[in-house]
Structure 1
Amino acid sequence: MSATLASARARVLIVDDSSVARAVLTRMVEEAAACSVAAAVPDIAGALRFLAADRVDVILLDLEMPGIHGLVGLPDIIAAGAGAKVLVVSSAAGEGAAATIEALALGAADTLVKPGRYVTAGSFAMTLAEKLIRLAEQSEPVLRPATAQPAAHHDFDVVAIGASTGGIHALNSLLQALPATFRKPIVITQHLPASFIPYFAGQVATATGRMCQVAADKMVIGDDMILVAPGDAHVTAVPLPKGRAAIRLNRDPVANGNMPSVDPMFESFADCFGPRLLAVVLSGMGRDGFAGARRVRSAGGTVVAQDQTSSVVWGMPGAVAAAGLANAVLTPGAIGDYIAAQHGVAA
């Protein structure tokens, strides 16, 4: 599919129990986003019947519907969609809502809150168009083979993971693939507003069966720790005696404009841990993590990127892979296996 939707006319399925919402979304999708609405149905059952016979590029899914709730039906919708990206459009997907994190963990590509008290119809239409364009685009083919490079056993002391759009589901798959015996510290920067972070940390704890904390200034990094970046600060590391390191929160603007950003995490961790760092770049739009991955490789560390097929948006991992900075390019589950194998931990 071309990156220009005006010529490609990406096909969209709308799933919403409100006839008014279906009509409004249809108009917005076809006018503001220049897409084609293949069908608009009132429930999960109708969506599954349509997807059994037809294909679309993007599915707009409401959550609060009679019969099967959107979150309950989401896994079936994703399976039936056969590669279609699911954008949850619901009043239940407001900032900080637990439903948002659950939807993303289940595999939704992105979420968008419906117009209401704090969201105008105009701003909603503009944001909807932007999200549809991004989700329907296909990244350019990778310039280097997307395969794992042979590597000898290489021990490390910490895993740093960066992700954005599509990253929560990928992270879930990665963490669930790690064996219970893997206890090295994991530090995660996921592009999310601060209000989402407590729910995100809870989701990570559920996926791993380990306690997950929001990173705080001056925390000493140690085994059994899983830390997530707060939504309003970059997580960086400073060295301590005997090869240890501590967290420092940094709010300085970065070139890529993200807060939090993956680049300062990777760069500072590379400076502290050198070859003892394993950095992972998961699904996300843009190039955040690219500069940091270059620093990791220069310091002797290991970089692993998510593959194109499993990524919702292959911007971040694709930039790293295309530049030859990745030691391996794998699915999220295979990245978990790779981490365990490189660290000599049995599954």
Structure 2
Amino acid sequence: MAAAEPRRATAPPGRAESPYRVMVVEDSLVIRGLIARILEADPRIAVVTTVANGELAIKALDRNEVEVVVLDIEMPVMDGLTALPLLIRKDPNLQIIMASTLTRKNAEVSIRALSAGAADYVAKPTTSREVNTADDFRRDLTEKVLTLGARRRQRVPASAAPTPGRVAAVPKQAAAPAAPVLRPTQWLRPPTVIGIGSSTGGPQALLKVLGGLAPMRQPILITQHMPATFTTILAEHIGRVASMPCAEAVDGEPVAGGRIYLAPGDHHMSVVARDGGRFIKLDQGPRENFCRPSVDPMLRSMSAVWGDGVLAVILTGMGSDGLGGCRTVVQAGGKVLAQDEATSVVWGMPGAVARAGVCSEILALSEMGPRLARIAGGAER
């Protein structure tokens, strides 16, 4: 199928900066058009071209300035996983969002794509009707394109001089964000439990941090923003690289030391104390921070159960989920670590806690695992 005629981006009236330029790669003509219309409903986004397979996407990069690619996985001629490294080779700063339906096979491929250089993923509705009616998909896709488009421009600033077919970006005179503020910390004793929250870039970060840890006596609870099926695959990947067993949490199971519990997609995970034990509780209550699972209810419940024994870790992710929970952790006497901006795919979640002054330390991703090991092992006193 031939590529659609490119539509050149123009700045919306009254905007100082040109919209983020997107290419949609999807073999279904209907779904391709619907995704393009969803994105162009936001004046900050311009879909400059749409194509039907990975081979056409690679050729389209020679003709179009593109900042973000929405890349389908299953396509004829050349699929998304094959096209991914070829697109990155053409433009190492290209931001690629994998789009896949919620099947085990596609979830596995999506996790592999993240390790191969994709920035994020979206769970694609399976029919045109679902795309039309799925508000969560619309919001998720639009927010990820905007966030990753901004990340691209931070890495490759738009030229001050306009190029053919593009409106020049004018630097904004926005106020600088608040600087990180650290809390004075004394590590009087090792934590009793560790809670980790992450979103965009989180699967890659979790595998790196947990893959380097020796067995620990503390339980580790993780909330990663991911849909069902994807969390199943992520838990299996973590279990293969970590020195501790990892699985999706099960409602009512006891929390045991030396194990990793991952919140299942579409379920909040919390902990309750009863009969002298601690047990996992899963629920499908209202979304928090537009998320289910959300980091905040996990951290709030951990503070209620373990008090000052909680160590919270906030890794890369967009938005501010986890900030409220981290405040609760600190109020109860627990401590917070956050990933730094330089190594985060998106410094939204860790940036929010860093600027709020609830962090004991802000660490590069490569430092997080060794630091956790020292703190959990009681080496910091």
Letter in 1 for 2:370: D
Q: 1:62 aligns with which of 69, 72, 77?
A: 72
Q: 1:211 aligns with which of 206, 225, 245?
A: 245
Query: What is the TM-score when the length of structure 2 is the normalising length?
Result: 0.71
Aligned pairs (5 A) from 1:1-347: 7-12=16-21, 14=23, 16=25, 18=27, 24=33, 28=37, 31-34=40-43, 35-36=45-46, 56-65=66-75, 69-74=79-84, 77-78=87-88, 81-89=91-99, 93-100=100-107, 102-104=109-111, 105-106=114-115, 107-113=118-124, 116=127, 118-120=129-131, 126=138, 128-137=141-150, 142-145=177-180, 152=187, 154-176=189-211, 178-182=212-216, 184-208=218-242, 210-239=244-273, 245-253=278-286, 256-344=289-377
Structure 1 spans left out of the alignment, 5+ residues: none
Per-residue CA deviation, residues 142-178 of structure 1 (Å, 9 max, x unaligned), is: 42248897765751232111122332222222222x2
Query: 1:203 & 1:49 partners in 2: Cα distance?
Result: 33
Q: RMSD of the TM alignment (CA)?
A: 4.2
Query: What is the TM-score when the length of structure 1 is the normalising length?
Result: 0.77
**8 Å CA contact 2:181, 2:356 repeated in 1:** no
Q: State the shift of 1:266 in Å.
A: 0.8
Query: 2:79 & 2:366 partners in 1: Cα distance?
Result: 28
Residues 258 and 23 of structure 1: CA distance in aligned 2, closer, same or farther (over 3 Å): closer
Q: State the shift of 1:325 in Å.
A: 0.9
Q: State the shift of 1:123 in Å.
A: 6.0
Letter in 1 for 2:98: V
Q: State the shift of 1:338 in Å.
A: 1.6
SS in 1 for 2:303: helix
Percent of counterpart pairs with the same letter? 32
SS in 2 for 1:119: helix
**8 Å CA contact 2:58, 2:83 repeated in 1:** no
Letter in 2 for 1:159: I
Bigger relative CO (Cα 8 Å, ≥ 6 apart): 1
Per-residue CA deviation, residues 168-204 of structure 1 (Å, 9 max, x unaligned), is: 222222222x233445321111223334332232222
Q: State the shift of 1:225 in Å.
A: 1.0
**8 Å CA contact 1:22, 1:40 repeated in 2:** no
Residues 221 and 115 of structure 1: CA distance in aligned 2, closer, same or farther (over 3 Å): closer
Per-residue CA deviation, residues 254-312 of structure 1 (Å, 9 max, x unaligned), is: 65353222112111212322332211112333322111101111222221122233334
Give the structure with the larger helix fraction.
1
Q: State the shift of 1:42 in Å.
A: 7.1
Letter in 2 for 1:213: A
SS in 2 for 1:110: strand
Query: 1:156 & 1:183 partners in 2: Cα distance?
Result: 10
Count of residue pairs the alignment pairs up: 339
Structure 2 spans left out of the alignment, 5+ residues: 1-10, 155-174
Query: 2:286 & 2:240 partners in 1: Cα distance?
Result: 32
